[in-house]
Structure 1
Amino acid sequence: MIKLDQFLKFLGIASTGGQAKLMILDGKVKVNGIIETRRGKKLTAEDQVTIGNKTFKVGDNIV
């Protein structure tokens, strides 16, 4: 498992934890098609994270 804010940093979408937090709190991040505002949301390999028009499957990006 990985937290949502850590996943955004891992992908390089957010350069800092603060930037990831703001993206999440501003409603710019969806998990499985639903806006997620909890930066500590725990993701599993099957979850899909969408930012803008890009979608990332957690399991395809975390080894």
Structure 2
Amino acid sequence: MSDNERDPLLDQRTAFILLLGVLAAVGAGALTVLGGQNAAGGVLTASGAFTAAVYFFHKIIR
């Protein structure tokens, strides 16, 4: 079996939802740190934003 015949690890919908989650997390974390919080607060904000964004986009993207 050649490499071209294998199934992808993630389907397009899943990859797109995770990409949007990562983008939301980076944005929220960066804005938190730029707003004066420390790096730990930025990471916590980013993780919450990632979770919320993935759940949100999972519900609205069919």
With structure 1 as the length reference, what TM-score do the two structures score? 0.24
* Greater relative contact order (Cα < 8 A, sep 6+): 2
Computing the radius of gyration over CA atoms, which structure comes out larger, 1 or 2?
Answer: 2
Q: Which has the higher helix share?
A: 2
